[in-house]
Chain A
Amino acid sequence: MSELLSVRDLRVRYRVDGGMTTMLDRNRRSYVDVVHGVSLNVGRGETLAVVGESGSGKTTLAMALCGLAPVLDGEVCFDGAVLTRGKDRYLQPDRRRIALMFQDAVGSLSPRMTVRKLLGEPFRIHSGLSDDPDRSALELMSMVGLTTDFADRYPHQLSGGQARRVCLARALAQKPDLLIADEPTAGLDVSIQGEVLNLLSDLQQELGLGIMIITHNLNIVRHVAEQMAIMYLGRFLEQGRSDRIIQRPRHPYTAALLAANPSTNPDAVPERIELTGEVPSLLQRPTGCEFRTRCPRAQADCRVSFPARESLNGKQAWNCFHAL
């Protein structure tokens, strides 16, 4: 499979202008590393799921890839071309070819534009995509399963699922090669969640899209993504083929996440891996392995250095001294 997007050691650093406390306290760092050395590949027609809790840096990663957050260093290649241009600069990807579906679907649509206008907008911005924007807008609507009745509605007149469809249609309007979907099903009901994910899969097969899905819902990963990555405090602790990771996680955090997933069978006796402690703040990143403060397998060496990457036939890779 040809690589569409390839990222090496990507870092995103935000400055924290902490005011008086930062000025007075010399030990306090005035920046946070939100994405801390992430490498990933997405091939054409392939889906990568990035899983992690809120605050782990998933959305910032997506933003950086779209040129909406500055990249401190690292290398990003898209379809063979290097996009990174030095330290702490915004990427300037070809915005037509990388599309982003924002997490807040309704919030990302202008409240003063009808669905028809919203879907026509990409054609006005990227000239040459369509000779007849109006007709193309209607075609997109049918592609994502919206009837023409919706054309004259405003975003506030749409349900969560319908708004997501409009966002997806807008993303597809620009005929992207890569679609980055930030929590495409967050806040959707299970019955509609399936619809949105099926639609993504169908369109992927039809158009050969590379997709990066950001989610904290582990249950959907196995159904939608061949590849997955587990993110914690800005790093990928484990990544590789979804079926392998789900069957046999190596990193203790992955194992805990998978074991924590509540089952709908009330009789199930889950074998939980109890995590203690709090999620550390990015401002006070623990030394060594960031997960050691909550890890049931942590030992003295974990505080010294961050474990090197270990890998199994290139299909599963993890960073842990005491892997399962």
Chain B
Amino acid sequence: MTTPVLDIRDLSVSYHTDRGLLRALRHVNIQIQPGRIIGIVGESGCGKSTLIAAIIRLLAPNAQIDGGSVLFRRNDLLGLDPEDMRALRGDEISLVFQDPMTSLNPVMTIGRQMTNIQYRENRSKAQMLARATSLLERVGIADPAEQLKRYPHHLSGGMRQRVAIAMALMTEPALLIADEPTTALDATLEVQIIHRLQQLQRDFGCAILFISHHLGVIAELCDEVVVMYAGEVVESGTTRDVFLKARHPYTRKLLECDPARIEQATRNLPVIAGKLPDLVDIREGCVFRSRCDSSIDRCARQRPALDGGDHCAACHVAGQ
């Protein structure tokens, strides 16, 4: 077994709120092997953003880590001092955000931004520009030298996002975290980005943690999938296993809700009845039980643990 690039063990994070402690992540375990693309699926409020923030240690001031560890190549990121963490961020671990318009600086040319972020390297200005040009080329941007002189607002949405990806890959990170990078694009540009990411992953050999609530994108891009619900991992496994043989009732319902899967046109789209549990007041037992059709008595008493194996689910009734 190789050492995972990222090994999240039993991570729990809460936020201090007026109503009390909001337990945003509870006992989360995720492993990312080198060179793999892992997708995280889950609805709003499932803890995706908190998870990213915890990995790169940019949690909000009212957050606290209740326990667990985030091992990046065997180093616990949670124990690093801020200086070391800063050195790692944007170098070994880099990020692509949802909206490239707000993650790029609007008053600086692309070229200036792409040379600025090479401050760690001992390169001449010309070398930095050459590096920037070659990266833009690799993300499939035509006429890269010319684009370096332009400002973000000159570029289309798809180009901006590829510039953001080029910038994230500049330092050849071991881990690239992409937070809903295709949400603002149309389907043709979305697949373009997906294919580009797959290509770049092969070239650079980095692991990718890809967050999305678009199930189709995850199915197409990722090797493995982690399904999160209300701050817990409820199912994880290879993309084929999870999408074709979903074990957790939540995953199954989520897949049923996808309008792309419904062949017949209908005016009555399936929904998941009920609502998310209140994370300030978490009861004993399974977090999904109030919305689950197959819950049994045990579900109210005991929180199901993620069972072992390659395709695991946290459910008392999930069959093998």
Contacts and interface: CB of A to CB of B under 8 A. Distances in A.
A264 B258 contact: yes
Which of A190, A219, A266 is packed against the most chain B CB atoms within 10 Å?
Answer: A190
Nearest to B275: A159
B257 A266 contact: no
B159 interface: yes
A194 B188 contact: no
Contact of A219 (B190, B239, B254, B259): B259
B158 to A, nearest CB: 6
A160 B44 contact: yes
Given A54-B157, A159-B44, A257-B187, A277 B261 contact: no
Nearest to A204: B267
A191 B260 contact: no
A194 B270 contact: yes
Contact of A198 (B183, B190, B244, B271): B271
A191 B271 contact: yes
Interface in A47-78: 52-56
B36 to A, nearest CB: 15
B122 interface: no
A230 to B, nearest CB: 10
A256 interface: yes
Contacts of A223: 259, 262, 265-267, 269
Contact of A266 (B159, B219, B266): B219
Contacts of B305: none
Given A194-B269, A264-B215, A278 B159 contact: yes
Interface string A228-244: 00000000000000110
Nearest to B180: A187
B89 interface: no
Interface string B158-197: 1100000000000000000000000111111111101000
A267 to B, nearest CB: 7
A102 B240 CA distance: 38
Interface centre among B44, B154, B259 (most CB of A within 10 A): B259
A53 B186 contact: yes
B191 A197 contact: no
27 contacts: A52-B186, A53-B188, A56-B186, A160-B44, A190-B258, A191-B254, A192-B43, A193-B259, A201-B267, A201-B268, A219-B259, A222-B259, A223-B266, A223-B269, A224-B267, A256-B188, A260-B188, A260-B191, A261-B216, A262-B187, A263-B220, A263-B260, A264-B255, A266-B240, A278-B158, A279-B158, A279-B159
Contacts of B269: 193-194, 197-198, 223
Interface in B127-164: 141-142, 154, 156-159
B45 interface: yes
A53 B142 contact: no
Interface of B: 43-45, 141-142, 154, 156-159, 183-192, 194, 213-217, 219-220, 239-240, 243-244, 253-255, 257-262, 265-272
Contacts of B239: 266
Contacts of B244: 265-267
Contacts of B158: 278-279
Of residues B156, B184, B190, B270, which shows the largest number of chain A Cβ atoms within 10 Å of its Cβ?
B156
Interface string A262-295: 1111110010100101110100000000000000
B213 A190 contact: yes
B24 to A, nearest CB: 15
Given A219-B216, A223-B265, A266-B239, 13 more contacts: A55-B156, A188-B44, A194-B270, A198-B269, A219-B258, A261-B260, A262-B187, A263-B219, A263-B220, A264-B219, A266-B240, A275-B192, A279-B156
Contacts of B220: 262-263, 266, 270
Nearest to A205: B267
B186 to A, nearest CB: 3
Q: Is the interface of B mostly helix, strand, loop or mixed?
A: helix
A213 B31 CA distance: 41
Contacts of A258: 187
B265 A222 contact: yes
A55 B269 CA distance: 29
| Range class of the A interface residue count | 35 or more
A195 B214 CA distance: 17
Contact of A262 (B43, B159, B219): B219
A192 B261 CA distance: 16
A225 to B, nearest CB: 10
Interface in A180-200: 187-195, 197-198
A218 interface: yes
Given A54-B185, A223-B266, A278-B156, A267 B215 contact: no
Contact of B267 (A55, A189, A198): A198
Contacts of B266: 223
A242 B215 CA distance: 23
Contact of B187 (A191, A194, A261, A279): A261
A218 B187 contact: yes
B45 A159 contact: yes
Nearest to A246: B265
A220 interface: yes
Contacts of B188: 53, 256-257, 260, 275
A11 interface: no
A59 to B, nearest CB: 13
A164 interface: no
A184 B30 CA distance: 33
Given A53-B186, A159-B45, A256-B188, A262 B217 contact: yes
Nearest to B261: A264
A165 interface: no
A216 interface: yes
Contacts of B141: 278
